[in-house]
Structure 1
């Protein structure tokens, strides 16, 4: 309310200043009296269409056009301030929420990120520019920072109704990264019941909670302190390996990276062995591993390994090479 009051004061001062400017302008440029100048300024700003006090020269016409333009800007600003001051904040908030709900209702196969603390902020940064729509839920979510593909929602991520509003039943992935293990456990259970096919990644601070989260439905459980400790040790013992891995898992830029690529049922790669697929020659990318639909990971696959529908190919390459592998996997043309 304090800001709204100051804006109202600015609008009033702006209107008074514009009126004084118009009056002074007519007095100086045309030599009119104070009363005539005030009258001319009034009918100009009010755009009522009354006849001018006297004949306007070129300077007078140009000044009048500038005065009308200033009046339009001032009126627009004053209306905006008045609406902001008079209309209750909860009504404006409700209108914003209604628009947000419409956007959320259109989302499908998106990512829901629960929690925007230190961990959640890094998660969001990694998803930026990924091409995936994301909904971030947090009690202190900066809704004003929402973009076309990043929607911030202020609310309690443990509230089932809030998760449903975020499109839980249509989402493709959920990240539970709120502050406590108990809340992450509840979010995971709620999400798994509502969407059995959902990919769920949960944060945990206590290693003893890992098994509970997995039983509750988490596909992956991440312990930041455990990963941080391993990372520090790896940087000390194998710095070049860490540098390479950092370079390959980056989501931005044109550096070489590792991506997983799905092999659909109608893929031309289905039924081909690695030798006949010849992905390296066709695309320039290297297949580091193949993950079967049952979860088995086959690293450094042999040339006689047969690619099956439902496999995930872990490919290493530049952006254009990764895209070439993806196009090859999605193509229905037989490999010859």
Structure 2
């Protein structure tokens, strides 16, 4: 049994490791005490005198521990001095062996892992607020934890690499992030990390091993079936296996990027709107030019390349494939060779191409392809695949039109699912609209809020989330959206937010509802805006006085005393009225 499985038995682990030196030390003390009681001594009157067990143990105790206290009843005889000398050297040997074993034990990795695991378990048990269990702290895990921290959510991390776990302390997170260096595919590890805790809000499997992510998905499905599980899968086989036992959210970064490219070719404004709404909090996006129609070149026909070819075929975009290996797809034009060379790119027709995708598994090769292609065709639309997020400085230096970063794609998708579940149906309905509508919406939102990634959140009109508004609606009161979005500080102004989507229980969902729409109890609202708009709207939904001011302009008195005084003033005023 590993120390991880018996984290509560650290004391017994230490005692087992120190069993031999402790037995030796106790034996040395026992023999020394016994010998000192048998050695004859002389009292003050010259008579033979023997030390009792108590006095012998007392003397050996302060001698063997090197205290050096000098209290004795009588001077020792030569026999007693000889035995004490032997006892001193025996105790030195015993203590040397014991201390050496103890220091070796303190440096033992098993003991350190057991102690760290026990601290981790205590930290998780002390959490009394919702937290997300993040399995894997690579580039994607770091982005997820940073975004959750900015959004005010707690995270618990399980990562098999101790170096990456140590890096967590170097990041300036607002809240502490409990982390454990262990195998996340072990169900016991997930239990220690709080999978079955009532405060666990979701599980995010982000390791670079599909088999580990599959094991996490199975454990989450069996041990905590009600929790949302977001699992990374880079092969169709793993994704199908996860889906077979009910995993709700399976994220394949290559498929997602294929969808993004298909959307960019079909609805460029919709693609930019999606990138703006699902971006990482605290970042600013740039307005990219639209992908042009015409012939494209794809460099690299691996997992990503096949999906991108399919996306281009769906949009009837002609594509030429460049790859070092012999062609596997005979339905498209192929050029075999190294795409980093100008000759191969020229053979593929880069001078006449509208766009190029540098999609190999090497960041250096992708940058080399992009630089060479841009020199041959300065107007070329360049799509770059960035495999390592740590290379962002190099990719930022090259002005590409579209960067594909798997870690960012997974992070965007996870945050969209966890923080705002309504965002997914909104984006699906947005894709069904035409380009003119998407362009209008993009200009409207970015014109008001800028290109910095906005705050996207959802509100449900119920007693728990919006008690003031819910009670008002239950009293047959009507509230329109434009009245609800007025500022609680000055009702003549509006909060810096807009309603993107309204979902109702009767399937009467509204995309970009108008201001004269009346809200109902049970409605869910998807909103976008600045960070302050969320707190302003939350105050209106929860506080009856704020809601009354926003709807009517009347400032109700607060507190029992002020309400009684206000009631008396109204009664006196009514008596003064004529008739």
Q: State TM-score, norm by structure 1.
A: 0.62
* Counterpart contact for 2:457–2:527, Cα < 8 Å: yes
Residues 294 and 117 (structure 1), Cα distance of their counterparts in 2 relative to 1, 3 Å cut: farther
SS of match in other structure, 2:469? coil
Q: 1:230 is matched with which residue: 259, 276, 299?
A: 259
Match of 2:141 in 1: 120
RMSD: 3.4
SS of match in other structure, 1:289? strand
Please give the alpha-carbon distance, in whole angstroms, between the structure 1 residues aligned to 2:481 and 2:267: 36
Q: 1:168 is matched with which residue: 195, 214, 221?
A: 195
Residues 116 and 234 (structure 1), Cα distance of their counterparts in 2 relative to 1, 3 Å cut: same
The one of the two structures with greater contact order (alpha-carbon pairs below 8 A, sep at least 6) is 1
Paired residues for 1:211-226 under 5 Å: 212-226=241-255
Q: 2:499 is matched with which residue: 269, 287, 291?
A: 287
Match of 2:168 in 1: 146
SS of match in other structure, 1:278? helix
Residue by residue, what CA displacement relative to the aligned partner does 1:105-145 show, whole Å, maximum 9, x if unpaired? 11242001122344434433433422111112121152223
Q: 1:97 is matched with which residue: 96, 114, 117?
A: 117
Q: CA deviation at 1:298?
A: 4.0
- Unmatched tracts of structure 2, length 5 or more: 1-101, 170-174, 284-451, 488-494, 552-579
The worse-fitting range, judged by mean Cα deviation, of 298-307 and 101-110 is 298-307
Residue by residue, what CA displacement relative to the aligned partner does 1:244-276 show, whole Å, maximum 9, x if unpaired? 444444322675332223444242333476626
Paired residues for 1:1-336 under 5 Å: 87-90=106-109, 91-107=111-127, 108-141=129-162, 142-147=164-169, 148-170=175-197, 171-207=200-236, 209-210=238-239, 212-235=241-264, 241-249=270-278, 250-252=280-282, 255-266=453-464, 267=466, 268-270=468-470, 271=473, 275=480, 278-282=483-487, 283-292=495-504, 298-301=510-513, 303-309=516-522, 311-331=523-543, 336=551
* Counterpart contact for 1:285–1:325, Cα < 8 Å: no
* Counterpart contact for 1:262–1:329, Cα < 8 Å: no
Q: CA deviation at 1:285?
A: 1.5
Please give the alpha-carbon distance, in whole angstroms, between the structure 2 residues aligned to 1:162 and 1:251: 30
Please give the alpha-carbon distance, in whole angstroms, between the structure 2 residues aligned to 1:298 and 1:221: 27
Q: CA deviation at 1:219?
A: 2.8
Match of 1:12 in 2: none
Residues 86 and 204 (structure 1), Cα distance of their counterparts in 2 relative to 1, 3 Å cut: closer
* Counterpart contact for 1:210–1:221, Cα < 8 Å: yes
Residue by residue, what CA displacement relative to the aligned partner does 1:186-241 show, whole Å, maximum 9, x if unpaired? 32232133223312222222346545534534332222111112224445665555
SS of match in other structure, 2:513? coil
Residues 183 and 114 (structure 1), Cα distance of their counterparts in 2 relative to 1, 3 Å cut: same
SS of match in other structure, 1:101? helix
Residues 155 and 292 (structure 1), Cα distance of their counterparts in 2 relative to 1, 3 Å cut: farther
Residues 162 and 322 (structure 1), Cα distance of their counterparts in 2 relative to 1, 3 Å cut: same
Please give the alpha-carbon distance, in whole angstroms, between the structure 2 residues aligned to 1:140 and 1:327: 44
- The structure 1 segments of at least 4 consecutive aligned residues displaced by more than 6 Å after TM superposition are 83-86, 293-296
- Unmatched tracts of structure 1, length 5 or more: 1-82
SS of match in other structure, 1:323? helix
Please give the alpha-carbon distance, in whole angstroms, between the structure 2 residues aligned to 1:216 and 1:262: 30
SS of match in other structure, 2:230? strand
SS of match in other structure, 1:172? strand
* Counterpart contact for 1:263–1:330, Cα < 8 Å: no
